[in-house]
Amino acid sequence: MSDVDLPWKKRADLQITPHDGGGWVVKDPVLSRYALLDDVECCVLQSLDGRTSRTELVDRALRRFPGCLLTTEDLSAFLQSLAAHQFIRPLGPRSVVTPSSAKNPLLRLLQGAAGLLRLQVPLFNPSRMLDATLPSVRRLLNPLTMVLATAAIIFAGLLLLLRLQDVTRAFPSLQQLPSAGSVAVLLLIFIVVKLVHEMAHALAARHFGAECSECGLMLLIFTPVLYTNVTDSWTLPRWQRMCVTGAGIAVELLLASICLLLWWQATDSSLRFVLFNTAVLCSVNTLLFNGNPLLRFDGYFLLSDALAIPNLASRSSAVVREFFHALLTGQRQRAENERRGVLLTYGLASLCYRVALTLAIVSLVRVMAKEWHVEFLGSLVIWGLLLSSVFLPAVGFVAGVMATGAQASTWLSRSRPVLLLAVLAAICCVPMPRSILAPAIIEPTGNAVYAPLSGRIDCRVNTNAEVASGQTLAVLHNPDLLRAGQQYDASVARMQTQRRIIENDGGSETRALLPVVTASLQSAERQQALFAQELKSLTLDSPASGQLFGGPLRQSEETVDGEYWMAQPLSTGSSGRWVERGTLLAHVGTAWDCQAKVCVSESEIADVKIGQSVRVLLAGHEAIVPGRVMAVSREPLDALNEEFAVAGAVAGTVDRAGLRPTDTHYFVTVALEPRGPAPAMYQMADVRIQTAPRSLLQRLLRFVRASF
């Protein structure tokens, strides 16, 4: 055969039916494969008889569809797609269709690596099971059932709006690591929900007469997801296709509503855990992912059928690529003009959403991997996601732009892509402002008041009151110290009695003991005087004049009667409570005698320098307090303030030495500028530290170094 001949022939068993959204649906009844072709592509497929040359085939298509711009290069690419789907069979011993990826081993390797993020493993044919289940499902789907299901969804939605705070409080934080049993339960819930979702698709397809010959497991970014192949629904009318597509969403929303209603009434903690997580999975996942038309899931196919635009994603992506291609090269490519505005709008919205979603997933994976100490696994997931979602599409687009520029006729047209890419590269090297967001606690810097001895506290002044220097703030009462003082007094009295007896006794032998008794008495009196001086410290006087600020919330140690308490040590509610020696009770000073103690992670402490500007957002306030970095600790924290752990800002573990941070953190001291209302002492805050600017390239390189 000559080079212009096409030794390929259309398979005779292919089923070709018109699609109500335009184009033709091609079905392989043997392999259950499908394709949606436009009029020109269907004409080319129908013309493949093994005897028509490339030129004749192109001329035939151009005569039948004068508006199309089919070339031999386009024909070769289309033949590759048909051969990959096995819609055509070779007539000779070899094929003239060679996949373009085979010419580029690197591109083939990258595509194979990206394919690992989306693997499909067929498991079984569910046709018999669906046919046996379908009659029972049809009897269940009566008008009364549909009305009750709709009412349940509406009622659950109204209750969710009215009690939104109860639901948000039930969400765990990332620091609350689930146990192995909880993870197993969550995985089981996920499997059951997705099984019900896919069964809804399959049953709806069988109800309308479409086939479902494949059910299996899909690994989507290393996450197992069940799937059913209902591609045969393409042959159905549009409203039936939309019912098949929306069946999974409807079932999950109904299941979420039922679980949410039961969760509000349940009392058992284990049952509430299962019901709440099922409701969250069925609602959040459905609305944000499965029902989102900007992602290629159920919501996308619903929108595609609603707009009557088949292959909405690929067609809108082609329009967006043509838009940016013309912007970079000044040359317009061939792109469909029909409904171009809709396609361009959807394509740009989908592109922006995918970029934002990718960045959000990358950030979430980094946080979770750090919290769960699986940073290496997190890096693998992140780079796999960036490879498939960012790197490969960007490389393909840049290669196309450069190829178009190389084929341009004028020097200016050839150099325009290079100049624009150089500008983009320069933008990536321009330093941009950067900041670090970290949790902090407001600590007082005034005159500190500590408990010199242990005892029960008797507060004489309320916190936040104005006090004078030397004014009594509180008195400590310690029965053990009082008993010890009585023992000192008794010992001195006993020795004084012994000395008087010796002095009154005239015997020489008895008087010889007088020096020893006198020395012991003097020693006991000195100890009595020292102890009396120490007892005076049980009365706590103000070290200076100013406002009295209570100390941090602390839980006391176990006392003789087994009491525990949590409060500010020097407050009216703490009177009668036990405090240990060395406990920070209060500070005396002004409202602005304070500083912010910032807890910065190990990965960001190197960027913090003395003198950097800081913005402090106090918890529960809209006012922002400015400040400056005053000191940066180079020693990692060995103890953590309880306020950080209570607020969930920093994860910590409790051991015999106290509360320790789970990861390595450092303290940064920030001096606050007295502007606006003064912050409350020991109040939590979010601090944004303005660090040195960094370019996008520097941030990318740092991320690469941190990953490997």
Mind listing the pLDDT tens digit for each residue in 605-621? 989 999 999 999 887 66
Task: Inform me whether the pLDDT recorded for 163 exceeds 90.
Answer: no
CA distance 505 to 96: 134
Report the range of poorest mean pLDDT among 29-38, 301-310, 580-589. Answer: 29-38
Task: Inform me whether the pLDDT recorded for 5 exceeds 60.
Answer: no
Reduce the DSSP state of residue 35 to 3 states and report it. Answer: strand
Q: What are the tens digits of pLDDT across the range 512-547?
A: 777 877 888 788 888 878 878 777 888 888 889 998
Summarize the confidence of residues 87-104 as an average pLDDT: 56
Q: What are the tens digits of pLDDT across the range 9-21?
A: 888 888 888 887 7
For residues 417 and 455, the model is more confident at: 455
What is the share, in percent, of the chain residues with pLDDT greater than 90?
11
What is the share, in percent, of the chain residues with pLDDT greater than 70?
81
Backbone angles phi, psi at 217, to 5 degrees: -120, 135
Task: Inform me whether the pLDDT recorded for 689 exceeds 90.
Answer: yes
Answer whether 83's CB lies under 8 Å from 7's CB: no
Strand order across the 24-28 sheet: 15-18, 24-28, 33-37
Query: 139 falls in which pLDDT band (50, 70, 90)?
Result: confident
Interstrand relation of 33-37 and 624-632 (parallel, antiparallel or unpaired):
unpaired
The predicted structure's pLDDT at residue 671: 94
Query: 249 falls in which pLDDT band (50, 70, 90)?
Result: very high
The predicted structure's pLDDT at residue 479: 83
Q: Which of 382-386, 419-423, 683-687 has the highest mean pLDDT?
A: 683-687
The predicted structure's pLDDT at residue 3: 45
Which domains, from first to last, does the chain contain? Answer: 8-98 (3.90.930.60), 114-308 (no CATH), 435-445+593-694 (2.40.30.170), 450-584 (no CATH)
The single-letter DSSP state of residue 172 is P
Answer whether 616's CB lies under 8 Å from 625's CB: yes
The predicted structure's pLDDT at residue 100: 43
The predicted structure's pLDDT at residue 599: 92
The predicted structure's pLDDT at residue 321: 82
Name every residue whose Cβ is closer than 8 Å to that of residue 16 and which is 6 or more positions away in sequence.
Answer: 24, 25, 26, 27, 42, 45, 46
Task: Inform me whether the pLDDT recorded for 49 exceeds 90.
Answer: no
The predicted structure's pLDDT at residue 614: 94
Backbone angles phi, psi at 23, to 5 degrees: 90, -165
Q: What are the tens digits of pLDDT across the range 189-246?
A: 888 888 899 899 999 999 998 888 888 887 765 566 778 888 888 888 889 999 999 9
Residue with tokens 């409790």: 654
Torsion of CA 660, 666, 671, 676, to 10 degrees: -60
Summarize the confidence of residues 146-156 as an average pLDDT: 89
Task: Inform me whether the pLDDT recorded for 432 exceeds 80.
Answer: yes
The predicted structure's pLDDT at residue 81: 82
The average confidence (pLDDT) of the chain is 79
Query: 42 falls in which pLDDT band (50, 70, 90)?
Result: confident
Task: Inform me whether the pLDDT recorded for 433 exceeds 80.
Answer: yes
The predicted structure's pLDDT at residue 103: 46
> Residue 238, Cα to own-chain centre: how many angstroms?
37
The single-letter DSSP state of residue 209 is T
Query: 182 falls in which pLDDT band (50, 70, 90)?
Result: confident
Query: 253 falls in which pLDDT band (50, 70, 90)?
Result: very high
Query: 559 falls in which pLDDT band (50, 70, 90)?
Result: very low
Report the range of poorest mean pLDDT among 128-137, 310-319, 510-519, 688-697. Answer: 510-519
Q: What are the tens digits of pLDDT across the range 583-599?
A: 888 889 998 999 999 99
CA distance 637 to 500: 61
